[in-house]
Amino acid sequence: MEHARNIRLRLLSYIVIAYMLLAYIWWSVVLYEKNKDAFYAKRELLLIGMVAEGRVSSSSEFYQTATYLELKDKYQTQTSMILGEAVVFVCSLLIGLYLINRSYHKEMMAARQRRNFLLSITHELKSPIASIQLILETMQKRGTIKQEIKERLLNNALNDTKRLNGLVSNLLLSAKLESAYQPHRENLDLAELIEDILDKLRHKHPTFKFSYIQDGNIPIIHADRTGMTSVAINLLENAIKYSTGSTEIQTYLSFVKDQIILKIADNGIGIDDKEKKKIFEKFYRIGNEDTRKTKGTGLGLYIVAEIIKAHQGRINVLDNKPHGTIFSIQLPVKNKAAEPFDISRRAS
């Protein structure tokens, strides 16, 4: 309903704008022609008058006179004025149209993200709560439960609370990243941190194969441990989540030209070129079926990108071969990053 109304409104505004444009072009042409006619008429009159007065004997002589040249000059100025104004008007109308269209698109995107966020957040919050409630009720009603079942139920409830905890932490972190994030920098062995995380994930996802390749020695960096952990976990969990049909996830770590390079590659569903920039926006989730089947709020990559930015690093997303995605991060080692990061500098 809303969408159809929007389309109708847009169509109407396009028709009005097209009408204005055509009407203005038409009036400009009419004005131009009238100006020309007036010039010819004045020229004829002037010529007849001057011949009658005996001031000129031929039209070629007339075209040399100061009176004619003045008339021609005035005509040319008026013509340029008409054409100039027409061009300025048409250009401003087109620029205005472009700006309106752009802000309309932005607004639509923001509305879509808000809607996505509300839908996913409600779902993400509600389903673990409902599941924990059900488990607790079951345990309350059925006094004696087999140890094995009890363990399974408790395990499920624990996983649900972990999910809730993760979601709430992500929400809080993303709110903090917007206003008051200051990386708590400390000497950090990134290689060790990544290997630790990979070990935990191997345990949590035994069906997946996590390979790790390290190219040479990785220097110690001055970075926020919690932030870097969040970056690696978010990227690896995405690789797991969007890896339908594949179970191989590769992590590379290298040190090139004063920069640590971290790459996380999967062979999953991949990301369309047109989506590559948008996925780092807050609450953005790709709107295809593959993504919708998975759980998420669209906060993960926003958090990753903001943390990397706060460490003066860069993040890129590339296609893996034959399919899948590679997230590549470059983190500077020797630079101003060693100083405590001041959020006020970023805001200015």
Q: How far is the CB of 304 from ligand ATP (least distance, A)?
A: 7
Pick from 128, 183, 227, 300 the residue near ligand ATP by CB under 6 A: 300
Pick from 183, 300, 313, 324 the residue near Mg ion by CB under 5 A: 300
Tokens linked to 39: 């010039």
| Residue 268 is a binding residue for ligand ATP (CB under 6 A) | yes
In 295-332, which positions are buried (b, 16+ CB within 10 angstroms) versus exposed (e)? ebbbbbbbbbbbbbebbebebebeebeeebbbbebbbb
Stretch that binds ligand ATP, among 53-61, 110-118, 280-288, 337-345 (CB under 6 A): 280-288
Q: How far is the CB of 107 from ligand ATP (least distance, A)?
A: 21
CB 250 within 8 A of CB 264: yes
Residue with Cβ nearer ligand ATP (264 or 333): 264
Residue located via tokens 């090139």: 256
C-alpha 213/C-alpha 143 separation (Å) is 51
Stretch that binds ligand ATP, among 45-53, 207-215, 255-263, 289-297 (CB under 6 A): 289-297
Pairing label, strands 248-256, 325-332: unpaired
Binding mask 315-334 for ligand ATP (x = CB under 6 A): ----------x---------
Stretch that binds Mg ion, among 20-28, 58-66, 123-131, 298-306 (CB under 5 A): 298-306
Looking at residue 45, its amino acid is: L
If DSSP codes are grouped into helix, strand and coil, which group holds residue 129? helix
Pick from 65, 259, 291, 328 the residue near ligand ATP by CB under 6 A: 291
Is the Cα torsion angle 91, 92, 93, 96 positive or negative in sign? positive
Stretch that binds ligand ATP, among 22-30, 108-116, 154-162, 282-290 (CB under 6 A): 282-290
- Indicate the DSSP class of residue 278: G
Looking at residue 24, its amino acid is: Y
Pairing label, strands 259-266, 209-215: unpaired
Q: What's the Rg (C-alpha) of the chain?
A: 34
C-alpha 60/C-alpha 25 separation (Å) is 35
Q: How far is the CB of 234 from Mg ion (least distance, A)?
A: 5
Residue with Cβ nearer ligand ATP (189 or 319): 319
Pick from 253, 269, 329, 337 the residue near ligand ATP by CB under 6 A: 269
| Residue 298 is a binding residue for Mg ion (CB under 5 A) | no
- Degrees to nearest 5, angle at CA 205 with 211 and 241: 85
| Residue 299 is a binding residue for ligand ATP (CB under 6 A) | yes
If DSSP codes are grouped into helix, strand and coil, which group holds residue 299? coil
Q: Which residues within the stretch 189-228 sit at the binding site for ligand ATP (CB under 6 A)? A: none
| Residue 174 is a binding residue for ligand ATP (CB under 6 A) | no
Q: Which residues within the stretch 220-239 sit at the binding site for Mg ion (CB under 5 A)? A: 238
Nearest to 74 by CA among 24, 28, 36: 36
C-alpha 132/C-alpha 153 separation (Å) is 9
Chain residues in the site for Mg ion (CB under 5 A): 238, 300
Chain residues in the site for ligand ATP (CB under 6 A): 170, 234, 238-239, 241-242, 266, 268-271, 279, 284-286, 291, 296-302, 325
